[in-house]
Structure 1
Amino acid sequence: MAGDGGGGAQEVVIVGGGIAGLATAVALRRVGVARGVVVLERHPELRATGAALSVFPNGWFALRALGVDHKLASRYDTYDTYVVGVRAVDRKSLLEALAEELPPGTIRFSSKLVSIHTEAAAASTSSSQTTTVVLRLSDGSVIRTKVLIGCDGVHSVVARWLGLSEPASCGRSAVRGLSVYPTGHGLKAELRQFLSEGLRAGWMPVTRTLVYWFLANNTVPAEAEAAGDPAKTLREVTENLARHMPSEYLDVVRHADLGNLSWSPLLYRNPLDVLTGNAAWGSVTVAGDAYHPMTPDMGQGGCTALEDAVVLARALSTAATPAEGVAAYVAERRRRAAWIVAGAYLSGWVQQGGTNVHGVRGYMVKLLRDRVFYRFVYPRLADTMWYNCGDLKVQRKKEAQNRNVMYGEPTKKLDCSTFHRSSL
Structure 2
Amino acid sequence: MIPSPPLYICPSPLITQTHSHQSLEMEVVEDTVIVGAGIAGLAASLGLYRMGLRSVVLESSDSLRATGFAFTAWTNAWKALDALGIGDSLRQQHVQLHGLVVASVATGLATSQVSFIAKGKLGDHEVRCVRRNMLLEALERELPRGTIRFGSKVVSIEETWNLKLVHLADGSILKAKVLVGCDGVNSVVAKWLGLPKPPFPRRSAARGIAEYPGGHGFKSEFLQYVGDGFRSGFLPCDEKTIYWFFTFISSPQAKDAEENPAKMKHYLLSLLQKAPKEVTGIIEKTELDTILSSPLRFRFPWDVLWGRICKNNVCVAGDAFHPMTPDLGQGACSALEDGVTLARCIGEALLGKSTAGGDESGRISRGLEKYAKERRCRGFDLIPTGYVLGFIQQSNGVVMSFLRDKCLAGFMAGMYLNKADFDCGTLFRD
Shorter-chain TM-score category? 0.7 to 0.9
Q: Aligned with 1:192: secondary structure? A: strand
Distance 2:92 2:194 in 1: 42
Q: Aligned with 1:267: secondary structure? A: coil
**Equivalent residue for 1:341?**
383
- Residue 366 of structure 1 deviates from its aligned partner by 2.5
Q: Of the candidates 160, 167, 188, which is equivalent to residue 219 of structure 2?
A: 188
How many residues get paired? 375
Distance 1:258 1:149 in 2: 36
Q: Of the candidates 177, 199, 206, which is equivalent to residue 237 of structure 2?
A: 206
**Equivalent residue for 2:76?**
58
Q: Is residue 38 of structure 1 aligned with residue 80 of structure 2?
A: no
Task: State the superposition RMSD in angstroms.
Answer: 2.1
AA aligned to 2:390 is G
Structure 2 matches for 1:274-293, cutoff 5 A?
A: 274-293=304-323
**Equivalent residue for 2:39?**
19
AA aligned to 2:329 is G
**Equivalent residue for 1:386?**
421
- TM-score, length basis structure 2: 0.82
- Residue 258 of structure 1 deviates from its aligned partner by 3.3
Distance 1:276 1:289 in 2: 17
Q: Of the candidates 74, 78, 84, which is equivalent to residue 96 of structure 2?
A: 78
Once the two structures are superposed, residues 341-392 of structure 1 have per-residue CA deviations (whole angstroms, 9 ceiling, x without a partner) of 1111111011111xxxx6xxx4333333234433345535632201011111
Once the two structures are superposed, residues 57-88 of structure 1 have per-residue CA deviations (whole angstroms, 9 ceiling, x without a partner) of 00000000000001111221212331544101
Structure 1: which 5+ runs fail to align? 121-130, 395-412, 414-424
Contact kept? 1:49, 1:259, Cα under 8 Å: no
Contact kept? 1:202, 1:249, Cα under 8 Å: no
Q: Aligned with 1:215: secondary structure? A: strand
Once the two structures are superposed, residues 157-182 of structure 1 have per-residue CA deviations (whole angstroms, 9 ceiling, x without a partner) of 11111111211222211111000111
- TM-score, length basis structure 1: 0.83
Q: Is residue 331 of structure 1 aligned with residue 373 of structure 2?
A: yes
Distance 2:296 2:231 in 1: 13
Residue 368 and residue 272 in structure 1: after superposition, are their counterparts in 2 closer, same or farther (change >3 A)?
A: farther
Distance 2:23 2:133 in 1: 34
AA aligned to 2:158 is H
Q: Larger deviation: 163-172 or 296-305?
A: 163-172
Structure 2: which 5+ runs fail to align? 1-19, 100-113, 117-125, 349-353, 358-362
Contact kept? 2:310, 2:372, Cα under 8 Å: yes
AA aligned to 1:93 is M
**Equivalent residue for 1:102?**
143
**Equivalent residue for 2:102?**
none
Distance 1:346 1:146 in 2: 39
Once the two structures are superposed, residues 285-317 of structure 1 have per-residue CA deviations (whole angstroms, 9 ceiling, x without a partner) of 111111100111111011101111111111223
Q: Is residue 114 of structure 1 aligned with residue 132 of structure 2?
A: no
Percent identity (aligned): 41
Contact kept? 1:298, 1:347, Cα under 8 Å: yes
**Equivalent residue for 1:164?**
195
**Equivalent residue for 2:48?**
28
Once the two structures are superposed, residues 224-266 of structure 1 have per-residue CA deviations (whole angstroms, 9 ceiling, x without a partner) of 444344334324333x444554422221011113343211112
